[in-house]
Amino acid sequence: MKRGAKSQARSRLIVVSNRLPFAFKRGPGGNWIAEPGSGGLVTALLPVLRNRGGTWIGWPGSAGSTREFAPALTSAGSAAGYDLVAVPLDEAEVREFYHGFSNEVIWPLFHDLTSLCNFDPAYWRTYTKVNRKYAAAVAARADRGDFVWVHDYHLMNVGGDMRALATQARLGFFLHIPFPSPDVFLKLPWRKQVIRALLQYDLVGFQAARDRRNFIACIEALGEEARVEGRGTVVTVTTARGETRVGSFPISIDYNAFMRAAATAEVDEKARELHTLLPGRKLVLGIDRLDYTKGITLRLQAFQDLLVRHPDMRGKVSLIQVVVPSREDIPEYNRMKTEIEQLVGRINGEFARPGGWVPVWYEYRSLTRLELLAYYRAADIALITPLKDGMNLVAKEYCACSIEEDCVLILSEFAGAAEQLRIGALLVNPHDIEGVAEAIRTAHSMPQDERLARMRAMRRSIRRQDVFWWVDSFLRAAIARDLSDFPAPEAQAPQPPSNQLPF
Ligand code: G6P
C-alpha cells in the first residue's frame, strides 16, 4: 500500500510550511529538479517523518503547475523518505500573499516596525484565499489521529480553515518570528480574525516566554474572556471558542552535527587562512540575511563609533560582515542594501590604510557550508544585534562551532535567543550605538578565564536543548495529559529526546 494512504492505522505527522524543504531548479531539458534545502527544520523533523511516515506540504518557491512539479516531487520524496505535496501559487498570489501580507504586513508588524507596514486590504483577501488553498491540500490528506504541524506567519489561518472543513486531525502551530505586544498588534486591521484563527489550533507554540505572554495579553486586550491555567512554559487558555494550549519552545540547532563539522581539518585550515589574510587582529563576525530587522546599519555605526572614540582599537579589530541576499523583490530590502554598502564604504574610506588594515570586510552573498563553519571558528567575537528576532540561530551555531570555547558572543537583548544565552553572552541594546561599541571593547579585552566560562555555559545549554529536544517538547505538549512536564524554566530538568511521535 502507498505510504501515507488514508487507511494507514498509525498516526502520521503532516508538516505544513510556506516553502517546501527543497529548492526547485529547471534542469537542462526544462524539467524541474528538486535540491534539498539547507534549513535546520528539515533535519529536526526528518527522524519523525521517517519513523512514523509523514507528509510535507508547501509551496515549491517558483511559479508552475502541480503537474509540472509532480515528477520532481515524487523522486525527491522517495529519496527523502516522506511524501511531498506542492501547493502551487500564481504570480498574483506570490505578490499579495507572500510579498504582500506575509512580508509587508505581518513581518514588519511582528518585529515592532509598524511604520514599514502596508495594510493593503487586497493583501489580506489574498492571504485568506491562499491559506484556504493550503488547508484544502492538508485536509485532503489528514486522517483522524494524524498530527498537523503548521509553521510560521504565512499560514496562521490554516487551522481555522481546516476546522471549517471538519477535519478530525489534531492541529499545532509554531510561530518562528516574535509575537508583538498589544500596543503594536492592535494596529492590525484584521487583529480579531488573526487571534481567533490562532485559537483554533490545539497547540500554539512561540519561541520565547516574551511572545507567549504577548499573545495572551492580546487575547485579553481584544476583550475575549480568557481563563489561563498553569504556570509553566505551556499553559491552557480557555475562551468562549474552546481550549488551546499555548507554550514557548525555543528552537535550536543540531548541536552535535555543527560541533563535529566545525572540528574537521578542512574547516580548521580555512579558519587559519582567514587569520592569515587578516593578521594580527581580533575578528568580529556578523552574519545576517539581508533584512531591516537585523540591525546591520546600527551595528556598522557602533563599529564606526568604536574606532572614532577609541583610536587605540584601530588596527586591532576587523569586522567581517556577511549579508545573505533575501527577498530581493521587496523595495525596502534594496534600499537597505544600498545604505549598508554606503556605510561600509564610509568607514573603510575613513580608516583603511593602503596595504594595511581594513576595518570592515563586507560580503554580499550566500556562504557555502564550509565557509560558514570556518567563519564561525575563526571569529573571536560574534556581533549579533537584531532589533528584534524570533530566536536567531546564528548565535547558537556560533557557540556550537566554537570548539575551543575561547571567544565571546555579543547578543541583542531583543533576540529570542537572549532568554537562554544570557548566561554567557554580553547582552546589548542594538539601538545604543555607544553601548554596542563598549561591548566590543569589553569583549576584546575580556580575560581568557571569563571567555571560556561564558562560552562553556552557553554551549552546555544549547547541547542539552538542541533541535531534537525542540521537536520532542512541542509534540509532547500537544498530547500530554497534563502539563506538569512543562514547569517554569528554573525547575526544568533535561528530557531525553525521543525523536518519535509520542502517540
Ligand atoms: C524567517 C522566517 C522563515 C522564512 C525565512 C526566509 O526565518 O521565519 O519562515 O522561511 O525567514 O525567508 P523567505 O521569505 O526567503 O522564506
Q: Which three cell numbers stand for residue 188?
A: 492590525
User: Rounded to the nearest whole angstrom, what is the distance from the C-alpha of residue 305 to the centroid of ligand 1?
Assistant: 32
- C-alpha distances (whole Å) from 51 to each of 81, 85, 147, 197, 431 are 9, 19, 14, 31, 46
User: Rounded to the nearest whole angstrom, what is the distance from the C-alpha of residue 314 to the centroid of ligand 1?
Assistant: 36
CA 85 to chain centre: 23
Ligand 1 binding pocket mutation candidate from 327, 396, 397 (most atoms within 8 A of CB): 327
User: Rounded to the nearest whole angstrom, what is the distance from the C-alpha of residue 1 to the centroid of ligand 1?
Assistant: 36
Q: How far from each other are the two terminal CA atoms of the chain, in whole angstroms? A: 22
Q: What is the pTM of this model?
A: 0.94
Question: What was the pLDDT predicted at 365?
Answer: 96
Ligand 1 binding pocket mutation candidate from 18, 149, 154, 323 (most atoms within 8 A of CB): 18
d(CA 305, CA 297): 12
Which residue is it, cell 585550515? 269
User: Rounded to the nearest whole angstrom, what is the distance from the C-alpha of residue 344 to the centroid of ligand 1?
Assistant: 26
Question: What was the pLDDT predicted at 390?
Answer: 97
Kindly report the protein residue whose alpha carbon is nearest to atom 6 of ligand 1. 326
Which residue is it, cell 549598508? 340
Minimum-distance ligand 1 atom for the alpha carbon of 152: 9
Question: What was the pLDDT predicted at 501?
Answer: 43
Minimum-distance ligand 1 atom for the alpha carbon of 103: 14
Minimum-distance ligand 1 atom for the alpha carbon of 17: 9
Q: 3-state class of 37 per DSSP?
A: coil
Tens of pLDDT along the chain (503 residues) come to 333 444 445 689 999 999 999 988 888 888 888 988 877 788 789 888 888 889 999 999 887 778 888 999 999 999 889 999 999 999 999 999 999 999 999 999 999 999 999 999 999 999 999 999 999 999 999 999 999 999 999 999 999 999 999 999 999 999 999 999 999 999 999 999 999 999 999 999 999 999 999 999 999 999 989 999 998 999 999 999 899 999 999 999 999 999 999 999 999 999 999 999 999 999 999 999 999 999 999 999 999 999 999 999 999 999 999 999 998 888 889 999 999 999 999 999 999 988 789 999 999 999 999 999 999 999 999 999 999 999 999 999 999 999 999 999 999 999 999 999 999 999 999 999 999 999 999 999 999 999 999 999 999 999 999 999 999 999 999 998 888 888 887 545 444 444 444 33
Which residue is it, cell 491552557? 236
CB 455 within 8 A of CB 405: yes
List, in order, residues 6 or more apart from 117 with CB less than 8 Å away: 104, 105, 108, 109, 187
d(CA 297, CA 295): 6
Q: 3-state class of 234 per DSSP?
A: strand
List, in order, residues 6 or more apart from 198 with CB less than 8 Å away: 156, 159, 173, 204, 215, 244
Question: What was the pLDDT predicted at 35?
Answer: 87
Q: 3-state class of 174 per DSSP?
A: strand
User: Rounded to the nearest whole angstrom, what is the distance from the C-alpha of residue 388 to the centroid of ligand 1?
Assistant: 15
Pairing state of beta strands 282-289 and 317-324? Answer: parallel
Kindly report the protein residue whose alpha carbon is nearest to atom 8 of ligand 1. 176
- C-alpha distances (whole Å) from 105 to each of 102, 333, 370, 438 are 6, 14, 35, 35
Please give the torsion angle defined by the CA atoms of residues 66, 67, 72 and 75, in that order, rounded to the nearest 10 degrees.
100
Which residue is it, cell 511604520? 115
Which residue is it, cell 516553502? 19
Put residue 434 in one of left, alpha, beta given phi > 0 → left and psi -120 to 50 → alpha. alpha
Kindly report the protein residue whose alpha carbon is nearest to atom 9 of ligand 1. 152
Please give the torsion angle defined by the CA atoms of residues 428, 429, 434 and 439, in that order, rounded to the nearest 10 degrees.
0
- C-alpha distances (whole Å) from 40 to each of 208, 291, 360 are 18, 20, 29
Minimum-distance ligand 1 atom for the alpha carbon of 177: 8
Ligand 1 binding pocket mutation candidate from 111, 153, 177, 207 (most atoms within 8 A of CB): 177
Kindly report the protein residue whose alpha carbon is nearest to atom 10 of ligand 1. 19
Which residue is it, cell 498570489? 93
User: Rounded to the nearest whole angstrom, what is the distance from the C-alpha of residue 296 to the centroid of ligand 1?
Assistant: 18
User: Rounded to the nearest whole angstrom, what is the distance from the C-alpha of residue 35 to the centroid of ligand 1?
Assistant: 18
Minimum-distance ligand 1 atom for the alpha carbon of 151: 9
List the beta strands (DSSP E) in 250-367.
282-289, 317-324, 360-364
User: Rounded to the nearest whole angstrom, what is the distance from the C-alpha of residue 326 to the centroid of ligand 1?
Assistant: 9
Minimum-distance ligand 1 atom for the alpha carbon of 102: 14
d(CA 209, CA 232): 10
User: Rounded to the nearest whole angstrom, what is the distance from the C-alpha of residue 390 to the centroid of ligand 1?
Assistant: 11
What is the CB < 6 Å shell around ligand 1? 19, 152, 176-177, 326-327
User: Rounded to the nearest whole angstrom, what is the distance from the C-alpha of residue 37 to the centroid of ligand 1?
Assistant: 12
CB 56 within 8 A of CB 73: no
Question: What was the pLDDT predicted at 176?
Answer: 97
Ligand 1 binding pocket mutation candidate from 95, 289, 329 (most atoms within 8 A of CB): 289
User: Rounded to the nearest whole angstrom, what is the distance from the C-alpha of residue 443 to the centroid of ligand 1?
Assistant: 31
Kindly report the protein residue whose alpha carbon is nearest to atom 14 of ligand 1. 327
Minimum-distance ligand 1 atom for the alpha carbon of 98: 14
User: Rounded to the nearest whole angstrom, what is the distance from the C-alpha of residue 39 to the centroid of ligand 1?
Assistant: 10
CB 503 within 8 A of CB 11: yes
3-state SS record for 414-470? CECCHHHHCCCCEEECCCCHHHHHHHHHHHHHCCHHHHHHHHHHHHHHHHHCCHHHH
Please give the torsion angle defined by the CA atoms of residues 491, 497, 498 and 503, in that order, rounded to the nearest 10 degrees.
40
Minimum-distance ligand 1 atom for the alpha carbon of 176: 8
User: Rounded to the nearest whole angstrom, what is the distance from the C-alpha of residue 47 to the centroid of ligand 1?
Assistant: 22
User: How many other C-beta atoms are found inside a 10 Å radius of the C-beta of residue 50?
Assistant: 13
d(CA 143, CA 148): 10
In residues, how long is the chain? 503
CB 461 within 8 A of CB 421: yes
